[in-house]
Structures are given as C-alpha cells and as structure tokens.
Amino acid sequence: DGGITQSPKYLFRKEGQNVTLSCEQNLNHDAMYWYRQDPGQGLRLIYYSQIVNDFQKGDIAEGYSVSREKKESFPLTVTSAQKNPTAFYLCASSIPTGTGKVGYTFGSGTRLTVV
C-alpha cells in the first residue's frame, strides 16, 4: 500500500545536538511538506518542496534545514539553532497543485523531546 513513513516515532535530543527526522513516501507525489504542531495549536509550515532539488522556507524555517535529493525522501534536520524544538513534527505529501486539486497525505508524525 502507498503511504508516507516517518521515523522515528519518538525522538529524544540533548540540547545543542542536531537531529534528523526521516520522511519517505511511495505515492509518487511531487510536493512534500514539513509541519510542526505545539500543544493546543494548529500546524505551522516549516519547509516545503514542490520538486526534487528544490525547496522553500515556510513560516517558521529558522533553526531547521531540509534536502530533497530524491522524489521519495524529504528529511528534516532540527539544528541546535532551533531554541524550542520540543514538538510534534508531521510530514505530508500532495498531488501536483497544477491538477487543481489538493490531496494531502500525512505521515504518522515524530514526537521530538529535548532532554
């Protein structure tokens, strides 16, 4: 079955460390996204990519980095510059926006905690 896989499900990081969250999809979607969710809040966009080897900053990109070397993969690195990284991170992919439709699929999320 097609879908999005995020790993790990839970991640603990010491202050000052960089960590990378994995996101892989086999839906053949061109666009991929990373969102962050804090308790009692909606999702906020960190980075997005519409095509391989291209990505753009979202609303809260500071302290994060991404790469899109393959269509299937869009890893997110949370760097030590991110001052408050504890949150629930969600990866999503969507069908090409040129179709006039927005069909999103979300991964099951990674819960990152700084210890």
Partner 1 sequence: RKEVEQDPGPFNVPEGATVAFNCTYSNSASQSFFWYRQDCRKEPKLLMSVYSSGNEDGRFTAQLNRASQYISLLIRDSKLSDSATYLCVVTISGNTGKLIFGQGTTLQVKP
The residue ranges that bind partner 1 (CB under 8 A) are 31, 33, 35, 40-45, 48, 50, 56, 58, 88, 90, 92, 94, 97, 102, 104, 106-109, 111
Cβ distance to partner 1 smaller for residue 18 or 108: 108
Cβ distance to partner 1 smaller for residue 65 or 105: 105
Prior bond of 8 cis (ω within 30°)? yes
Cβ distance to partner 1 smaller for residue 80 or 109: 109
From the list 78, 106, 103, the residue with the least C-alpha distance to 91 is: 106
Cα–Cα distance, 18 to 1 (Å, whole number): 32
In the complex, the smallest distance separating the C-beta of residue 31 from partner 1, rounded to whole angstroms, is 6
Cα–Cα distance, 88 to 109 (Å, whole number): 7
Cβ distance to partner 1 smaller for residue 58 or 75: 58
In the complex, the smallest distance separating the C-beta of residue 49 from partner 1, rounded to whole angstroms, is 10
In the complex, the smallest distance separating the C-beta of residue 27 from partner 1, rounded to whole angstroms, is 14
In the complex, the smallest distance separating the C-beta of residue 33 from partner 1, rounded to whole angstroms, is 7
DSSP assignment of 3-47, as one string? -EEEE-SEEEE-TT--EEEEEEE-S--SEEEEEEE-TT--EEEEE
